[in-house]
Amino acid sequence: MNSLVLSIIMLFGGAGVFIAGMNMMADGLSKSAGSGMKKLIGTVSNNKLSGVGIGAGVTAIIQSSAATTVMAIGFVNAGIMTLVQATPVIMGANIGTTITGVLVSLKSLGITEYAKLLAFIGVMMTFFKSDKVKNVGAILCGLGLIFIGLDLMSGAFDNEEFKETIIKIFTVVEFPLLLIIVGMLLTALIQSSSAVTGIVIIMAGSGALSLENALFIVLGSNVGTCITAIIASMNGNVNAKRTAFMHLTFNVIGTALFTALIWPLKSEAVWLLQKITPHVEMQVAWFHVIFNVTTTAVLLPFVKQLVAFVEKTIKDKPVEENKYKLKHVDELLLKTPPIAIMQAKKEIDYMASLARDNIVLAEEALLTGDEKYSKMIAENEEIIDFTNKALTKFLIKLTSVATVEEEKIIGSYFHVLNDVERIGDHAENFYEIGEEMKQKELTFSNFAQEEIRKMYGEVIKMFDMAQTIFDTLDKSKLDALNSQEEVVDGLKKALNKSHVKRLAAGSCTSELSPYYFSTVAGLERVADHLLNVGYSIVSPTGSTSEQ
């Protein structure tokens, strides 16, 4: 095989191993720090420095500024963050992504051969049953693969013919703007500025690319990485599009400022980097760090102005609010299962609130015969059904990227969804009972109405207890929920006996019996479903209610 072709294969093969290693290490880090990321996102506030720290921390974990930005888009789309809060996170993400470059530059210290051994150690650890050990194994294996990939890419430049060819190409393409475009296109193609920076570091270290040219390619890679976020925002709302555009705006401004600075001062920039470290690989890595830290420091005070510019550029479109859309969940959240689980829980809470509203509305419709509740009940039920189906699909997708522990939580959510949906159905049944009674011109006696209202009240009390337990995961309140369910069971028996006595005394007609018994039985079944909701925090494997 031609040596030039072999070198090209080694370069691209090494790049493939390098990217695979990055992804494996990022996956292991993400799973290991799942709860940590959840806490990080939970601390998002209007504090700009806090936002930068969160963005840098999350990106250091998942090894991709584009992925962090895509997450930020999902958070804004789902209402977890505002654009003002997301902007510092995006800035921090650019700082976090420089860690990969620093890691790659360590190759210049001669640790490659030792680092390769980590791939074997990591693979052996993945055979353990413990998820924690497997995750650490994935991190070590990924790290080892990164250095194996780097070694393969470096080997490509051992071929003098290939090296000379690359040198000639960048002798022709040495105009700074062209080099920036090369960096943009390479990153847009590979979808990772970290990978492009790694390749540039190897090329510069081998002497195939001058440090001056390397700096401009690195600048271009920071713009090219925005493509991923822009693509991800296409199906999002206007705020998602603004978040992606903010990422692009930030990187374009930073690249423009640094280009204007180092273009006329290339020699001075190279001299300064050489003073920082004698290793060319580290010089490129440190330039990447300096660029992102400086750009963030310069633009951070102008977050509000940047947001105002983005909002003026991408304007709101007057569209009617879509009720049949998940309010707290976005497909982009699948990239962060811990956050997706947290948001899915909020969606279930919203669905449960609608079911509770319908129970209250259905009671009034049943006992008063007032038609004004009809539309509200129907709309709520449609949203409940939509949420159940859409969230079930989302949870199925989430299961495929979740850990074993997360799968247990998701499993419990499936059951809660089913119970809440059934409660919504019961509410609709109560309304239909009232409609049928109205058509037959039947009404419950005042005494019967008081009994039903009492049972409704106890069920609503139980509803609030179950929701609180589900929200707070407070197992200590399960005994109280059990006791409340027994109260409802007792009321069912007492009310049925009371109705039979009224029938015997002739104070109630037999025509009302089916409706009365159905209402009481339906309320008791709602209580059973609520007990399942409360116990979902203990047993994610199944429910006990009558379906």
Domain of 476, CATH number, reads 1.20.58.220
Is 309 a domain residue? yes
Kindly state whether residues 486 and 376 are assigned to the same domain: yes
pLDDT band per the 50, 70, 90 thresholds, residue 533: very high
- pTM for this predicted structure: 0.68
Q: pLDDT tens digits, residue range 171-183?
A: 777 788 899 998 8
pLDDT band per the 50, 70, 90 thresholds, residue 189: confident
Kindly state whether residues 293 and 158 are assigned to the same domain: yes
Q: Which residues contact 16 (CB under 8 A, 6 or more apart)?
A: 149
Kindly state whether residues 258 and 379 are assigned to the same domain: no
Kindly state whether residues 153 and 230 are assigned to the same domain: yes
Mean pLDDT of 359-383: 90
Kindly state whether residues 299 and 356 are assigned to the same domain: no
Using alpha carbons, select from 283, 285, 261 the residue that is nearest to residue 273: 283
Mean pLDDT of 501-505: 85
Q: Which of 248, 280, 313 is the last residue of a domain?
A: 313
Q: pLDDT tens digits, residue range 304-333?
A: 999 999 989 888 765 445 566 788 887 877
pLDDT band per the 50, 70, 90 thresholds, residue 543: very low
Kindly state whether residues 180 and 255 are assigned to the same domain: yes
Q: pLDDT tens digits, residue range 411-440?
A: 999 999 999 999 999 999 999 999 999 888
pLDDT at residue 44, as a whole number? 61
Kindly state whether residues 73 and 107 are assigned to the same domain: yes
Is 324 a domain residue? no
Residue with tokens 């390479």: 186
Is 468 a domain residue? yes
Highest mean pLDDT among 184-193, 261-270, 384-393: 384-393
Kindly state whether residues 173 and 213 are assigned to the same domain: yes
Q: pLDDT tens digits, residue range 104-126?
A: 777 666 666 777 888 889 889 88
pLDDT at residue 43, as a whole number? 59
Q: Which of 283, 313, 343 is the last residue of a domain?
A: 313
Q: Which of 252, 281, 313 is the last residue of a domain?
A: 313
For the chain, give the percent of residues with pLDDT over 70.
Answer: 91
Kindly state whether residues 342 and 462 are assigned to the same domain: yes
Is 254 a domain residue? yes
Burial of 536 (0-12, 13-18, 19+ CB in 10 A): buried
Ranking 242-251, 281-290, 469-478, 498-507 by mean pLDDT, the lowest is 498-507
Joined together, the tokens standing for residue 501 give 């006595």
Kindly state whether residues 248 and 393 are assigned to the same domain: no
Kindly state whether residues 289 and 403 are assigned to the same domain: no
Is 319 a domain residue? no
Domain that holds residue 346: 331-535
Q: pLDDT tens digits, residue range 137-184?
A: 888 898 888 888 878 887 777 777 777 887 777 777 778 889 999 889
Kindly state whether residues 290 and 391 are assigned to the same domain: no
pLDDT above 90: residue 520:
yes
pLDDT at residue 547, as a whole number? 37
Is 547 a domain residue? no
Is 57 a domain residue? yes
Is 434 a domain residue? yes
For the chain, the domain total comes to 2
pLDDT at residue 327, as a whole number? 81
